[in-house]
Structure 1
């Protein structure tokens, strides 16, 4: 079974309010890419991935006016891919949903959120991901009220390989959007960093719950974070990714992703990357490792073949000019895949 995670930049812009594809010459949300060009590139990439399940980050918008699941299933039909059934968790207000696109002939999936509903009052014990988490992130003895702008998707998946849980994540961006000067930029960056770390602590509590239950678990998606990614790591001690992985815990309590492990072991050397952004003011590209597929200890013996479909760093993608161009046109992130081969043991608790 092939599992993938793929952040598709402004996927929602490629559909009308009825979920129909806008395969035309109008500009998409990507720089100098039309909607037709992006759709064709995405179809080519998804077809080549040939995944049983794809966690789609920045999936089409779902709201009163739009049905993102329908739009994604229409895209699957257009691309003629096996993964043609869409699962959404909690809808959000960002026009960037988190969805699982999967092959219904290979597996079944339901959204199965864990935790108590809290409303705005919050809870000190990790609540349901659409709730409010109360946590003191510093030494001012004042609790912070933390929410997810994009609540993670919690999927319970049953397949011939076994039954497992998947948490799909799009963590808070640390970029200081809206800052008008350097001081405001610093203040916003630190505030965003604190919120991102709080979300990762919240996620880690959910991970601990599933590990205690003995659940086979995958945590995947875009964490907007990684070891050594910015200067605020010194201020806060560690990255949010390290919190979710549990790098300071015993091996039986740690999640595993080989790309994250490589980055942690060689912070100042060559590292894998999953995203490529154009920095207009500096006329250059910035690359970063942001997308991961982490697995629990009970699943690790059954997982192999992690791959970043990078147009320049993956040899097969580099040699295939059509695939390389499609990857560069489709999104500013590149897909990550992993092979899961069961049957594997383990209960799946609530």
Structure 2
């Protein structure tokens, strides 16, 4: 079985108010790419991934006139994808939903949000002392994680959680002091979201349920200088002692060669591209025993992706993130 996590940049802006694709020469929200090129590129990448399920981060919008799942299913039908069904969770006001596209012949999927005293439902408020001042602060998700109960064709049941944690970027900061203040505040909120998510994972682990956490955590061990102010990155908090992802774990170890990256951004001031590891698929021990194989479909770091000129071009046009796949001996 192949599972994929894929952050598709501004996917929502390829659809009209009737959830139909707009494949024309007008600009998409992806810089320098028109809607026709991005839409075709996304279809090409998803077809080549040939996954049984794709966790789409920044999925199409759900609002008064649009519906995320309908847009994704229309896209799948037009592109001829076997991941023809879609589910999504709590709608957001960000135009960036979390959704799962899946092959209904291989998987049964049910949206199943959970709640406990330690970890309330993800569309509510979590209280935690962020500033170590003996006062609890309220924390909310702008993009509540998508909680799923998934059953395979062979009868295996597992929990799957799609996530998009808060960005640490200091948007709207105008001075160096504001950059520091906003960056630290954003990291505190991100870490609080990671603690909330980790508690949900532990809830499933205590119930002996296999767990997969997949998506964009906007963080990684050693990613920025503000991490020194806190004990751990949000990635390490979510992984805890029970989940594993070799890409994330590799960053904790001494690094003898190039670091993996799942996203590629352009730095305007230096006029250079830089890569970061933001996207993960973390699995519990029961699944780690099923011969897991992770792959980052990076057009310049994965040899097969680089050698395939059509796939390389599609990966670059589709999004600023690249897919992460996990192959498991799971039926």
Alignment TM-score > 0.5, same fold: yes
TM-score (norm 1): 0.92
Cross-structure match for 2:138: 145
1:319 to 295, 304, 307: 307
2:319 to 319, 323, 331: 331
C-alpha displacement of 1:266 = 3.2
State how far apart, in whole Å, the 2-side matches of 1:342 and 1:226 are: 28
The answer to whether the 8 Å contact 1:171/1:224 transfers is yes
1:212 to 182, 206, 213: 206
The answer to whether the 8 Å contact 2:105/2:153 transfers is no
Cross-structure match for 2:89: 89
Equivalent residue runs for 1:171-182 within 5 Å: 171-182=165-176
Cross-structure match for 2:330: 342
Deviations 1:271-326 (A, max 9, x none): 11000001122211121000000000111111422100000100100110110010
The answer to whether the 8 Å contact 1:227/1:267 transfers is no
Whether 2:238 is the aligned partner of 1:244: answer yes
The runs of 5 or more residues in structure 1 that have no matched partner are 117-122, 247-252, 344-350
The answer to whether the 8 Å contact 1:216/1:299 transfers is yes
State how far apart, in whole Å, the 2-side matches of 1:166 and 1:303 are: 18
State how far apart, in whole Å, the 2-side matches of 1:267 and 1:176 are: 28
State how far apart, in whole Å, the 2-side matches of 1:13 and 1:182 are: 33
The answer to whether the 8 Å contact 1:27/1:34 transfers is yes
State how far apart, in whole Å, the 2-side matches of 1:267 and 1:226 are: 14
Whether 2:274 is the aligned partner of 1:286: answer yes
State how far apart, in whole Å, the 1-side matches of 2:236 and 2:132 are: 21
Cross-structure match for 1:127: 120
TM-score (norm 2): 0.97
Cross-structure match for 2:242: 254
C-alpha displacement of 1:269 = 4.5
The runs of 5 or more residues in structure 2 that have no matched partner are none
C-alpha displacement of 1:191 = 0.4
Whether 2:162 is the aligned partner of 1:168: answer yes
C-alpha displacement of 1:267 = 5.1
**The residue matched to 2:78 in structure 1 has which SS?**
helix
The answer to whether the 8 Å contact 1:190/1:232 transfers is yes
State how far apart, in whole Å, the 1-side matches of 2:252 and 2:174 are: 34
C-alpha displacement of 1:103 = 0.5
State how far apart, in whole Å, the 2-side matches of 1:227 and 1:264 are: 6
Cross-structure match for 1:346: none
State how far apart, in whole Å, the 2-side matches of 1:294 and 1:205 are: 15
Which piece of structure 1 moves more, 76-85 or 147-156? 76-85
How many correspondences in the alignment? Answer: 330
Give the 3 Å change call, closer, same or farther, for CA 219–91 of structure 1 in structure 2.
Answer: same
1:187 to 168, 178, 181: 181
Q: Detail structure 1 runs of 4+ shifted over 4 Å in the superposition.
A: none
Cross-structure match for 1:42: 42
State how far apart, in whole Å, the 1-side matches of 2:256 and 2:131 are: 29
**The residue matched to 1:82 in structure 2 has which SS?**
coil
State how far apart, in whole Å, the 2-side matches of 1:224 and 1:237 are: 17
